[in-house]
């Protein structure tokens, strides 16, 4: 089991000032009653700097670690969904189910599914553009694009294609994060690390998935759950006093993979005989991914047991009480899971964000999609504190305590 925790809260003189990303990162920090105080030292070559200092070189000539001190905050959000809406009644024509059976057990009534020429990349680009527009940030000012997805349009990832479609002329770094339903939370943490540790100014974090591509539409236990969507946020550098990412808690446990997976399967082909009559395992069989396989009961138990502990841990690391939460925003997997976690954390229903009924489980897109709707409807306002948590295949789970705006 892997475990990581803690956020830095430093400062930067100007949001528009560009800081060249360093190569090496060294950190030290302590927690005060008011919050976290951290110094992050960055250097392109600490050994070279030490040697020059030892030889009497001036400080201006040596490449000693320099102080990078800045916080980060969420300043824009956006989302996009496919045009095709599939209702519970539509599914009842495919499998033995009904609107009542599905809604009572999951809280889902509709979901969106890719069709025609739609793609995950196109949805991600639309969501990203909406986030940039809200944040009033030009694509050329984006320093990094993080695409959180387990279903990219290309085996090697879609982030560079998103960067290209957005028209980022400076060729900023763009890469994919594969962590299923926890992907967006891990993307937020990665964005904070790039901003606080490497001087990045504007980072796009996108959650986008099309699990409909890997659903067995004859299996009523899984086909009722999933939908396709994309959501994005713009995370921006700021002074430490404005820092809006307070704490996090992340975990993984590979033992739980048996309860939720979509493994590679080999398509059967005739064996090739060698010249001596022996059977060769070459060329290898062509592979593809199987449909999603899930033990719903075990996933439910995992979520309601692990997620509350993770949120409580993130709050403790942020130095905040549970009463400071304005909104609870969980991965939209199942309304029963959302309700159970809220009950254990003693968060009243009116402070829980949920749009599951309209979209189903959209994997890495679910948190930013729900956040975008809540912000644009006026429910979430600037200064509100949100406890967000993702959980799912891997298995992985994680929480982040953040402030909007």
How many CB atoms within 10 Å of residue 25?
16
CA 307 to chain centre: 15
Residue 361: active-site member: yes
Distance (Å, rounded) from C-alpha 351 to C-alpha 328? 6
What whole-number distance in Å separates Cα of residue 107 and Cα of residue 300? 14
Q: Which of 331, 334, 355, 358 is catalytic?
A: 331
Both tokens of 105, joined, read 């057990």
Say if CB 17 and CB 197 are below 8 A apart: no
Counts for the chain of helices (H) and strands (E), in that order: 10, 22
CB 397 within 8 A of CB 310: yes
Tokens 């990832």, located at residue: 157
Strands of 202-210's sheet in order across = 71-80, 228-238, 202-210, 144-148, 173-177
Catalytic residue among 88, 130, 358, 361: 361
Q: Are strands 327-330 and 352-353 parallel, antiparallel or unpaired?
A: parallel
Give the number of C-alpha atoms closer than 13 A to the C-alpha of residue 48, restricted to the C-beta side: 7
- Bridge partners of residue 294, in order along the sequence: 260
Active site residue 202: no
With 0-12 CB in 10 A as exposed, 13-18 as middle and 19+ as buried, what is 344? middle
Measured distance CA(310)–CA(322) in Å, rounded = 12
Cα three-residue angle 255-258-260, rounded to 5 degrees: 115
Active-site choice (181, 223, 238, 259) = 181
As a whole number of Å, the CA-based R_g of the chain is 23
Token representation of residue 267: 């398509």
For 243-268, the DSSP string reads --EEEEEEEE-GGGGGGEE--EEEPP
- Cβ atoms of 208 and 157 within 8 Å: the answer is no
| Nearest-5° Cα angle at 151, 146 to 154 | 80
Residue 285 appears among annotated catalytic residues: no
Residue positions annotated with a catalytic role: 181, 331, 361
């Amino acid at each position: 089991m892997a475990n990581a925790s803690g956020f830095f809260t430093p400062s930067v003189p100007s949001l528009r000032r560009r800081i060249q990303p360093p190569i090496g990162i060294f950190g030290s920090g302590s927690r005060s009653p008011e919050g976290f105080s951290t110094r992050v030292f960055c250097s392109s070559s600490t050994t070279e700097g030490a040697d020059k200092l030892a030889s009497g070189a001036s400080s201006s000539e040596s490449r000693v670690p320099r102080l990078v001190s800045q916080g980060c905050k969420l300043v824009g959000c956006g989302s996009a969904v496919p045009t095709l809406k599939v209702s519970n009644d539509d599914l009842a024509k495919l499998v033995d189910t009904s609107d009542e059976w599905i809604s009572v057990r999951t809280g889902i009534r509709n979901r969106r599914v890719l069709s025609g020429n739609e793609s995950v990349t196109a949805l991600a680009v639309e969501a990203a553009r909406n986030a940039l527009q809200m944040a009033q940030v030009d694509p050329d000012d984006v320093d990094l694009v993080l695409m959180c997805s387990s279903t990219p349009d290309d085996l090697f990832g879609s982030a560079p294609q998103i960067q290209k479609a957005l028209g980022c002329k400076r060729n900023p770094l763009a890469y994919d994060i594969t962590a299923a339903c926890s992907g967006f939370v891990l993307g937020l943490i990665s964005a904070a690390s790039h901003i606080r540790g490497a001087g990045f100014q504007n980072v796009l974090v996108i959650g986008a998935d099309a699990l409909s591509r890997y659903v067995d539409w004859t299996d009523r236990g899984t086909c009722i759950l999933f939908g396709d969507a994309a959501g994005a946020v713009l995370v921006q550098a700021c002074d430490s006093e404005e820092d809006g990412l307070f704490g996090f808690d992340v975990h993984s446990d590979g033992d739980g993979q048996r309860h939720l997976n979509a493994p590679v399967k080999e398509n059967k082909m005739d064996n090739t005989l060698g010249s001596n009559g022996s059977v060769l395992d070459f060329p290898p069989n062509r592979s593809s991914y199987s449909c999603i396989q899930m033990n719903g009961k075990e996933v439910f138990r995992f979520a309601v047991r692990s997620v509350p502990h993770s949120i409580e841990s993130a709050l403790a690391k942020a130095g905040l009480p549970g009463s400071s939460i304005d909104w609870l925003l969980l991965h939209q997997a199942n309304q029963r899971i959302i309700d159970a976690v809220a009950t254990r954390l003693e968060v009243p229903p009116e402070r829980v964000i949920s749009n599951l009924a309209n979209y189903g489980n959209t994997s890495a897109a679910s948190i930013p999609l729900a956040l975008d709707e809540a912000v644009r409807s006026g429910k979430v306002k600037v200064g509100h504190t949100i406890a967000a948590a993702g959980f799912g295949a891997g298995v992985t789970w994680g929480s982040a305590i953040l402030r909007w705006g």
